[in-house]
Amino acid sequence: MDIDAGPKVMGDDGEFHAVDEAIDLSKTPPEAWVSVLLFWALAGVVFTQFFTRYFLNNSASWTEEIARYLLIGVVFVGASIGVAKNNHIQVDLLYRYVPAKMGRVMAIAVDWIRIAFFASMTYFTVLMMQKMGNYQMTIVDLPMNIVYGVVLFGFAAMAVRSVWVAKVHWQRGYTVLERPESHMEDR
């Protein structure tokens, strides 16, 4: 085995030479940026909680409640990224044993059911926000509808992304369920 047969990363000057690929953030969806913002806010609140509890020995009571709500936001807004990439948990074993036409019908049904589910959750979140009215958070004097508004944004983004995924599936003629080796980027 020739040790010099692989890629050369060490230059003749004895220095390590490597070039990173350019990072392109232009295709990052808006909900991903919102999720990142919520995540860093969560990190800041958790650090504040840690610092006040263990260094100041006087825990800030608001941090636990706000951290919980920020985590809810990260989950619901971040889930829309999973919908856009179509990489949520799915079982594709059945599609290997049914005829192709039946598999296609089932895959289209899955797309429609996903759209209906996220659209209905968006609607029900609006209804719940209306019923909550001016209900306040426990410790922080802010309306709970702020939290439900972030959940509403997450569900609405998931519904929109579900429509987009169904459109991609329709245009290319198959879904990831029918061909598990494919990805959403294979458009």
For residues 1-9, average pLDDT: 58
List the one residue out of 64, 71, 61, 90 whose CA is nearest residue 150.
71
pTM confidence score: 0.78
- DSSP codes, 43-100: HHHHHHHHHHHHTSS---THHHHHHHHHHHHHHHHHHHHHHHHT-S----TGGGTS-H
* Mean local confidence (pLDDT), 77-100: 82
Give the angle subtended at the CA of 184 by the CAs of 160 and 162, to the nearest 5°.
Answer: 20
Q: Are the CB atoms for 129 and 148 separated by under 8 Å? A: yes
pLDDT tens digit sequence for 15-47: 777 777 788 888 888 889 999 999 999 999 999
Q: What average pLDDT does the segment 77-99 reach? A: 82
Residue 24: inside a domain = no
Any domain includes 25: no
Closest CA to 73 of 123, 122, 28, 37: 37
Mean pLDDT (whole number) for 129-134: 89
Give, in order, the Cα–Cα distances in Å from 137 to each of 14, 110, 132: 61, 37, 11
pLDDT band at 51 (very low <50, low <70, confident <90, very high): very high
pLDDT at 179: 72
- Residue 144 is part of which domain span? 31-172
Number of separate domains in the chain? 1
Q: Does residue 125 belong to any structural domain of this protein?
A: yes
Which amino acid is it at 99? P
| Domain presence at residue 81 | yes
Task: Determine the average pLDDT of the residues in 171-185.
Answer: 73
Determine, yes or no, domain membership for 35: yes
- Tell me how far apart the alpha carbons of residues 111 and 165 are, in angstroms, rounded to a whole number: 8
Judge whether 111 lies within some domain.
yes
Of the listed ranges 77-86, 147-156, 178-187, the least confidently predicted one is: 178-187
What is the band of 3 on the pLDDT scale with cuts at 50, 70, 90?
low
- Residue 22 in any domain: the answer is no
Q: What is the pLDDT of residue 185?
A: 58
Q: Does a structural domain hold residue 165? A: yes
